[in-house]
Amino acid sequence: MALSVRKAVLPVAGLGTRFLPATKAMPKEMLTVVDRPLIQYAVEECLAAGVEEFVFVTGRNKGALEDHFDTAYELEATLHERGKNHELKLTQQATIKAGNAIFTRQQQPLGLGHAIWCARDWVGREPFAVLLPDELTIDSPSCTGQLVAAHERTGGNVVAVMEVPREQTKSYGIAAVKDEKDSLAEVTGLVEKPNPEESPSTLAIIGRYILQPEVFDHLDRHEKGAGGEIQLTDAMAKMVGHCPFHALRYRGLRYDCGSRIGFLEANVAVALHRADTTGETRALLERVLKA
Question: 87 or 139: whose CB is closer to ligand G1P?
Answer: 139
Dist. CA 124–CA 42, nearest whole Å:
21
Using CB under 6 A as the binding rule, whether residue 145 contacts ligand G1P is answered as no
Verify binding: residue 117, ligand G1P, rule CB under 6 A.
no
Piece of the chain touching ligand G1P by CB under 6 A; list 43-51, 138-146, 198-206, 243-251: 198-206
For the CB of residue 139, give the shortest distance to ligand G1P in the complex, in Å: 17
Nearer to ligand G1P, 14 or 145 (CB): 14
Residue 206 found at the interface with ligand G1P (CB under 6 A): yes
By CB under 6 A, name the one of 33, 57, 162, 205 that touches ligand G1P: 205
By CB under 6 A, name the one of 41, 56, 172, 245 that touches ligand G1P: 172
Give the pairing type, strands 245-249 and 184-192: antiparallel
Pick from 57, 118, 136, 204 the residue near ligand G1P by CB under 6 A: 204
| Contact flag: residue 132 with ligand G1P (CB under 6 A) | yes
Q: Which residue is nearest to ligand G1P (CB)?
A: 173
- What CA–CA distance (Å, rounded) separates 40 from 133? 9
DSSP characters over 32-98: EETTEEHHHHHHHHHHHTT--EEEEEE-TT-HHHHHHTS--HHHHHHHHHTT-HHHHHHHHHT---T
Distance CA 283, CA 287 (A): 6
Residue of 29, 45, 192, 234 interacting with ligand G1P (CB under 6 A): 192
Instruction: Select from 130, 173, 216, 247 the one that contacts ligand G1P (CB under 6 A).
Output: 173
Amino acid at 224: K
37 binds ligand G1P (CB under 6 A): no
Q: What is the dihedral of CA 154, 111, 12, 176, to 10 degrees?
A: -30
Q: Mask: binding to ligand G1P, 225-264, rule CB under 6 A, as x and -?
A: ------xxx------------------------x------
Size of the site for ligand G1P (CB under 6 A): 14
Nearer to ligand G1P, 233 or 267 (CB): 233
- Single out the residue of 207, 216, 247, 267 in contact with ligand G1P (rule: CB under 6 A): 207
CB 237 within 8 A of CB 178: no
Residue numbers at the binding site for ligand G1P (CB under 6 A):
112, 132, 135, 172-173, 192, 204-207, 231-233, 258
